[in-house]
Amino acid sequence: MMFATLALIGARNKYSVVLSTSSGENQALTSEDRTQIEQVFSAINEAIVSRG
């Protein structure tokens, strides 16, 4: 099972999407654009929910 986590990193306001699986965590995407990260985060969560 995969989970997506929105993480705030450092003092420079970098945001990340972290994917957690049974084999560990992977920082899939990092950006200073919070809106972009939130959109990716929402899309991943919607895909997980619709997959069941």
pLDDT at 42: 93
Give me the tens of pLDDT residue by residue for the chain, a chain 52 residues long: 556 666 665 567 888 998 888 899 898 999 999 999 999 999 998 998 998 7
Question: Would you list the domain boundaries of the chain?
Answer: 3-51
Phi and psi at residue 20, to the nearest 5°: -110, 125
pLDDT at 21: 85
pLDDT at 13: 81
Strands (E) across the chain are located at 3-9, 14-21, 24-31
Q: Report CA dihedral (21, 39, 6, 12) to the nearest 10 degrees.
A: 130
